[in-house]
Amino acid sequence: MRLHKLNPSIKALTVILLVFLLSFVFDPVTPLLYWLFIVVVTFSLGKVETRKWLLIFVPFLVVALGYVWTTAVFSNPPAGTELVTYWTIGPVEITNYGLSTGLALGLRVLCFAGLSLLFILTTDPVKFILSLVQQCKLPPKLAYGLLAGYRFLPLLTEEVKIIRHAHKVRGANRETGLKGKLFALKRYAIPLLASAIRKAERAAIAMESKGFTGGRSRTYYHQIHIQKQDWLFFGLMIGLFFLCVFVSMQLGTFRGYGDI
C-alpha cells in the first residue's frame, strides 16, 4: 500500500474523520501515541521528503508550544479538581491539570498538522479534484474551474514581479511605513485583478469552445477507482486511533469528552 496510490477522496475522508475523533480526546497520551503512528505511516507508506515535511511541520510545532504554554498558565480547572502545583513563577502557577490540558491541546494540533501533511504531501491536486468529481459527485463545472484556477497561480506570481518592477521604475515605491505599504498593495491589486479576470474569462471561453458544458455526461481519461487498499488504509488509521485510546485507558490516563 502506497499513500500516493490511494484514492484521494477516501484519504480525505479518513483525515477528516480522524480530526473529528481527535477533538473528543482531552488527555496528552492518546494524541502523543497517535502522532507517532501518523509519522510512522507517513514515512513508511508514503514517499515524503523529510526536509519538506519538517519545513511545513516546524511552524505548527511553534503554534503547539504556544498552546501548551497559554493553556498551562491560564488553565481554569473546574471546582473540585485535585490540583498539584509543579512550579510557581511569581503569580503564575503551573498545575498538573493545566499542564496536561495544555499538552493535550498542543499534541492535538500536532496530530492535525501530521494528518494534513500526510494528505497534502502524498496527494496530486489534480487527481484529488478528479476523484471528487468521480466519487463525491462534485459538479464538473466547479471542478474544472478549480483546476483552471490552480494553473494560474504560478502565472500570477510572475506577474506580481513584473508589476513591482513597473511601479519601481515610475518611482511609486518610495513611500515607506505601514500606510505606504498598504497603499502599494492596493496599487498592485488592480492590475493583477484585471489580468486575472481577463485570463479567467478567456479560459472559460476556451473551455466551452471545446464542448465543455459543465454537465455530468462525460468520459474520463483518468478513471479513479476505490479499491480494497483504500478501505484498508481507512480501517488501519481508524484502528490505530482506537488502539491509542485503548492503551491510554489501560494506563489510566485517558480523558475524553465526558470526563472534563
Partner 1 sequence: MTAPLLTVDNFTFSYDEAEKPVLHNLSFTVEQGEALLLLGPSGSGKSSLALCLNGLYPAAVDGSSTGEISLAGKKLDAYLPGEASRRIGVVFQDPDAQFCMLTVEDELAFGLENLNVPREEMADRMEWALGLVDLQNYRTSPIASLSGGMKQKLALACVLAMKPDLIILDEPTAMLDPVTTKELAETIKALHAELGFSLLVIEHKLDHWISFMDRCLIFTETGEVMFDGIPEDGFSFYLDELKEQGVWLPKPLVFSEQLNMAGKLPLTEDELLAAMNWQAFEKAGQLLQKERREYSGTILETRKLSFLRGAKPILKQVNVRLPKGALTAIVGPNGAGKSTLSYTLAGLETPDNGEVLYEKEPLAHLSGAAMSEKIGYVFQNPEHQFITDSVYEEIAFSLRMQKKKEADIEQIVGEILAACRLQGLAHQHPFSLSQGQKRRLSVATMLVDEQSLFILDEPTYGQDQKAAAELMKMVEKRLAAGFSAVMITHDMELVAAFADQVIVLVEGEVLFAGVPHDLFSDRSGLLEKAQLERPLAYSIREKWRLRGESLAASQA
Q: Which three cell numbers stand for residue 21?
A: 475523533
Residue 35 half-sphere exposure toward CB, CA atoms < 13 A: 20
Smallest distance, partner 1 to C-beta of residue 192, A: 9
Please identify, using beta-carbon distances, which residue of 78 and 215 lies nearer to partner 1: 215
Cβ proximity of 119 and 128 under 8 Å: no
Please identify, using beta-carbon distances, which residue of 137 and 210 lies nearer to partner 1: 210
Instruction: Please tell me the distance from the alpha carbon of residue 32 to that of residue 244, in angstroms, as a whole number.
Output: 9
The residues that touch partner 1, with contacts defined as CB under 8 A, are 126, 144, 147-148, 150-151, 154-155, 159, 162-163, 165-174, 187, 190-191, 194-195, 198-200, 202-203, 205-213, 215, 217-223
Grid cell 471545446 — which residue? 210
Instruction: Please tell me the distance from the alpha carbon of residue 258 to that of residue 24, in angstroms, as a whole number.
Output: 9
The per-residue DSSP string of 55-102 comes to HHHHHHHHHHHHHHHHHHHS--PPTT----EEEEETTEEEEHHHHHHH
Q: Which residues pair with 256 in a beta bridge?
A: 25
Residue from 221, 244, 252 nearest 31 by CA: 244
Please identify, using beta-carbon distances, which residue of 168 and 181 lies nearer to partner 1: 168
Smallest distance, partner 1 to C-beta of residue 151, A: 6
Smallest distance, partner 1 to C-beta of residue 37, A: 33
Cβ proximity of 158 and 151 under 8 Å: no
Cβ proximity of 164 and 176 under 8 Å: no
Please identify, using beta-carbon distances, which residue of 222 and 235 lies nearer to partner 1: 222
161 Cα distance to chain centroid: 28
Cβ proximity of 254 and 24 under 8 Å: no
Smallest distance, partner 1 to C-beta of residue 164, A: 9
Smallest distance, partner 1 to C-beta of residue 13, A: 24
Please identify, using beta-carbon distances, which residue of 154 and 252 lies nearer to partner 1: 154
Smallest distance, partner 1 to C-beta of residue 49, A: 18
Please identify, using beta-carbon distances, which residue of 166 and 251 lies nearer to partner 1: 166
